[in-house]
Amino acid sequence: MKGGREPAVVSQDEPVRRGDGPALDVVKRLSRSMSTVGRDAAEVRGALEDTQRVVQAQGQAMQALAQQLHQIGAAQAAIAAATSESATAVQRARDALGVVGGEVGGMAATLAQVSDAAAEITKISLQTRLVAFNAAVEAKHAGEAGRGFAVVAEAVKALAGQVESSSKAIVGAIASLQERIDRFSNELTENPGRPSQIHAAFHEVEQDVGRIATSATESGRQMQLLNERAQQLEQEVMEATRGLKVAFDGSDRFLRMSEDLVEQLANSGVEVDDMPFIRTAQQVAGDIAALLEGALRDGQISEADLFDENYRPIAGTDPQQHLTRFCGLTDHLFPEVQERGLGLSDKVVFCIAADRNGYIATHNRKYCQPQRPGDTIWNTANSRYRRIFNDRTGLASARNTKPFLLQTYRRDMGGGRFVLLKEAAAPIIVRGRHWGGLRLAFNF
């Protein structure tokens, strides 16, 4: 210790007297130390909040991934089923092709029989012509007696010639058809040594179907591994979330403890550094309560409208803004007294009245800028009126009924930017009813 002096100790049984110099210094130093501890605790809590948001986002991403994997797995199963059906269909086609080949072979055999029969007819017609020729010669030798026979012989000869001509035509046509059928039969008949175009095409289709089936099977195995790993990661995220909640709760308790100690020091009667802000919050809370009671007394608003909790969303706003039946009154009454609270110190960031649910109808003028469509980051920082701040700090300040409340927290300014603040809050009581709280935030 500097100068070798031991630090002064304040007994819990003895109240701190404003005139007790050493004790007063100790309390002030203790207050500043606890304020620093509170700031560090708020930073830790803020870091935990950031981590919690990331973990929650990871959890949501893992759930979405699991759903996608399930859908992909179903698609892979459908592909495998379709591939199996394709392979079966190809085999059926090949079997049908074999049947057709057999039928074509039968047709070829039948045509061969027809061709043989036509050839036989040709042979017979040739012999008939020869016999008719001989008969005609003999009829000439017979003279007048054989003339009628000669006519018949000539007719038979002519008919035999026609039969021969027709038979030869049949044989020629069948030969041409036989040649075509033979080529077709060769295409239909499977020969591993010299596969036809049809069987080569079937073979390629079977190979392609086989490759698809193999790929689908391998993909299915990979999807199963991915699904198992995704489930493991989801479990790890859940465990991390539980661990974060424990740390988060511990951080909250530690932060609340430091805030309680600062409040106790402020209540001790010592003029700690936060007292000017506390008194200003209490003063502004009293002024606003007096204005609201005056409005009720003058009939400017009914008590039901003043305590309206029907927050009506304003369409197209981001962050979401709301309207209530007392917005017009607060826009008229609050700005002057709230702006006056800003004049206490350059450290003051805002001085606003919130109803008991954290709803800010009318903010400080610099934060009452109209929203810019599509610019959420700018709106978050500059359009803070008509919004509900029901976070830990906002609700605690809005629902506090003690003479004052001190809190330390990070304020979200949008776009990932935060500001570390302290806040003094005092209750606003209107005709014995708790309307809300005055929130006065200031920098360290």
Which of residues 151, 186, 220 is at a domain's end?
A: 220
Separation CA 281–CA 361 (nearest Å):
18
Residue 15 lies in a domain: no
Which of residues 220, 237, 265 is at a domain's end?
A: 220
**In terms of pLDDT, which residue wins out, 363 or 215?**
363
For 206-212, what is the mean pLDDT? 74
Domain range for 83 is 70-220
pLDDT tens string 144-189: 766 666 677 676 767 667 776 776 777 777 777 667 677 666 666 6
Average pLDDT of the residues of the chain: 77
Backbone angles phi, psi at 238, to 5 degrees: -65, -40
Which of residues 154, 189, 220 is at a domain's end?
A: 220
Residue 44 lies in a domain: no
Instruction: Quote the pTM value.
Output: 0.54
Residue 226 lies in a domain: no
Number of domains in the chain: 2
Residue 112 lies in a domain: yes
Token pair listed for 396: 């605690």
For 306-326, what is the mean pLDDT? 98
The domain spanning residue 109 has which CATH number?
A: 1.10.287.950
Same domain, 284 and 144: no
Residue 347 lies in a domain: yes
H-assigned helices in 142-196:
147-188
Whole-number pLDDT of residue 15: 39
Residue 22 lies in a domain: no
Same domain, 436 and 288: yes
Whole-number pLDDT of residue 42: 61
**In terms of pLDDT, which residue wins out, 106 or 29?**
106
pLDDT tens string 318-373: 999 999 999 999 999 999 999 999 999 999 999 999 999 999 999 999 999 999 99
Whole-number pLDDT of residue 149: 67
For 56-71, what is the mean pLDDT? 67
For 134-152, what is the mean pLDDT? 70
What percent of the chain clears pLDDT 70, i.e. is strictly above it? 57
DSSP state of 346: T
Whole-number pLDDT of residue 266: 64
Burial 367-390 (b: 16+ CB within 10 A, else e): bbeebeeeebeebbbbbbbbbbbe
Residue 293 lies in a domain: yes
Residue 19 lies in a domain: no
For 263-287, what is the mean pLDDT? 84
pLDDT tens string 7-16: 333 333 333 3
